[in-house]
Amino acid sequence: SSLIKVLIGSLPYGLLGVLGLVYFKIDTLMLSYIRGNFETGLYSVSYKFLEAVILVPSAISAVIFPSLAKLHQGQVSDLKKYYFKTLKLMSILGVIVFFIYLIVLPVIINLLLPKYIPSIAIVQLLSFTIPFMFLHTPSTQLLLASEKYLKPVIYLSVFTMFFNVISNLIFIPIFGYIAAAWVTILSEALSFVIFYIFIQMKVFRA
């Protein structure tokens, strides 16, 4: 009985994991199907550099989650203060990493990884995703830290996934991997904005 309860309780997190996987991989799959191997290979190489960054906000997520879960049981004002403090930290880190990817990484690729030189332009374009990836972390963790907001997180995640898929379907046939990169940027920006608005309207005004 307790095992069944645990399994049922873990289902929303499992669903979010699947949505996250689809969200991060669907553009490459669609690019492969619509535009072929050359553009897919170029985009995949560029995207791997971006995937390396995800480790940083993921590690920070693990650190801030227990504190957010504890603060949900106390005053909303304390939760709000911690959230904005974390958001400020993530914005600073996001901007630093963004400039490293935009300016420093291309130099490293030119000097040490010559076979990846054709991917530099896409790496630089995808780097504009990084600040939003970092800013999005406190919002998702704040909501996931309370069972009360699990359903809204799933709904918002489904919405951003559909935006990603539909935008890719429309623009990849026309603009190829450039479209895939721009849709990635816009999807991350949209995700941050709608989660931020939801928190302001439903959590901090509750």
CA geometry: angle at 150 spanning 191 and 47, to 5°?
A: 35
- pLDDT tens column, 24-82: 788 888 999 899 888 898 899 888 888 888 888 888 988 898 998 898 888 889 999 99
- Those residues with Cβ within 8 angstroms of residue 47's Cβ, 6 or more apart along the chain or in another chain: 28, 126
Write down the residue that tokens 């890719």 correspond to: 168
- Those residues with Cβ within 8 angstroms of residue 205's Cβ, 6 or more apart along the chain or in another chain: none
Q: What is the dihedral of CA 103, 48, 183, 196, to 10 degrees?
A: -80
Tally of CA atoms within 13 A in the half-sphere of 52 that contains its CB: 14
Q: Kindly report the pTM of this predicted structure.
A: 0.88
